[in-house]
Amino acid sequence: MLTRLLPYTEIESKVCDIVAEQLAVPHDQVSPGDRLIEDLGIDSLELVELLMGIEEEFDVTLPGEPPNPVYKSVFTRGSLRLADLAELAYLQQGTGVPKGGNWRGERLPPSAGSSIPFTQLGGRWNAAHNDEGPLWDRLPVRDGVPQFRRRSDGMRCLLLSATNVEIGNNGPDAPPDEQPRHVVQLDSFLIDAEPVSTTAYCRFLNSVGDVPVATQADWFLLDPTDVRNAHVLITRSNQSWQPLPGTARWPMVLVSWYGANAYSLWANGRNWRHYRGEQAAEMDCFLPSEAQWEYAARGARYRTFPWGDEAPNQDRLRYMQHRREATYQADTLPLADVNAELGMSPFGVHHMAGNVWQWCQDWYDPTAYASRTAAHTNPVNRMPGTARSERGGSWIGPADLCRSSCRRGRPPAARGRCLGFRCISPASAIE
């Protein structure tokens, strides 16, 4: 335990040492100005370990519960630097390491959740077969919500009706980027009932044929030195991509916004080569807008979580599963099957809270909800920035990040072990 207050420069140097050790890189390759995501490639799991390592090194508590805005900033600032973490540790000296809470207590056993039949397809899809019939098969209505199945990947999709929707959060502890709560008009649209699985993503890769390695690196391939390679859930064997054993019903993770958008275009019968979305047109992206995602998560009226305002627990969603220094193999990541009935929205959409964050179409802007365009019909922030939006929380983070109004963003090239995606389609696609 520290017996004196350390100067900021000493803390800054030690933070760099902690990062170098955690990432197994030479100390001279780490500097206070390094950005966690852009320069060091740190994902949410590594960030949690880094925060706990800093707490133990300096005997401090880094604020971790709402309404403290520091906690929010740590998980949302794509440009967060090591110097910023050093400043937090410096300011928190004397607070002591948290006991038992956050990621240090006993992990509650996660619920497997009941499940419905898994419909996503492996193998490959020949787009020419679409000439034989429509892309969509109609399914029986479930709980009043029309259902369809997309032939390209077997995904079950739900048709949400056009309506006026409350998005955002006006609560007393609402972070600034969620304010103000406001009403938007949304046209009807289809949304995937589940996150895209490893099985379906392999089908996409097998169907588009050989693509340049550089393109695969844009989507999901990691640098050979990246320690996260141990957690990649898909592999190529005999010229065919397939999920690792035991992961076929898990969400596809470690996929960039580009890799998610490429899939969304392919699944909707569009040209996946436009995956960078540089034309900023609707036809170049079939990921949900933030407004569509929020509507699908909790319905047309405000509620804290998809099920309402009641406190979360492990029977309702997959969250807060990581514990200090826990290690994983690819097939032991605490992910839930995409068809498990967890994080269920009022419409029956799975995993709209917890399990994996989900990429959205919008460029992330912390002031977006306060802008004059926020209340436009079918709002999407298409003004290019440094990060794309992600929603929903994950198996790593606390329940606060799983709230339906919680917003954050990451650079589109980022990928993480708790980050996946789902797709949308316009209602006109089934007419």
Q: What is the pLDDT of residues 238-277, one digit of tens each?
A: 889 999 999 999 999 999 999 999 999 999 999 999 999 8
pLDDT digits over 274-303, tens only? Answer: 999 876 555 689 999 999 999 999 999 999
CATH domain 8-91 topology: 1.10.1200
Q: Over range 35-49, report the average pLDDT.
A: 84
pLDDT score for 73: 59
pLDDT score for 101: 61
Question: How would you class 224 by CB atoms within 10 Å of its CB: exposed for 0-12, middle for 13-18, buried for 19 or more?
Answer: exposed
Q: Over range 40-52, report the average pLDDT.
A: 86
Q: Over range 160-170, report the average pLDDT.
A: 97
Q: Over range 205-219, report the average pLDDT.
A: 95
| Percentage of the chain lying above the pLDDT 90 cut | 68
Cα distance between the two ends of the chain: 67
pLDDT score for 127: 66
The listed CATH number (1.10.275.10, 3.90.1580.10, 3.30.70.600, 3.40.710.10) that belongs to domain 127-199+248-430 = 3.90.1580.10
Flag the least confident range among 112-116, 120-124, 147-151, 294-298: 112-116
pLDDT for residue 70 is more than 70? no
Tokens representing 105 are 């207590």
Cα–Cα distance, 91 to 127 (Å, whole number): 58
Residue ranges per domain, the chain?
Answer: 8-91, 127-199+248-430
pLDDT score for 150: 96
pLDDT score for 345: 98
Cα–Cα distance, 58 to 282 (Å, whole number): 49
Cα–Cα distance, 287 to 380 (Å, whole number): 11
Between 277 and 394, the higher pLDDT residue: 394
Q: Say yes or no: do domains 8-91 and 127-199+248-430 share a fold.
A: no
Name the nearest CA neighbour of 337 among 355, 352, 349.
355
* Per-residue confidence band for 71, with pLDDT thresholds at 50, 70 and 90: low
Q: Which residue has the tokens 């379906």?
A: 200
pLDDT for residue 36 is more than 80? yes
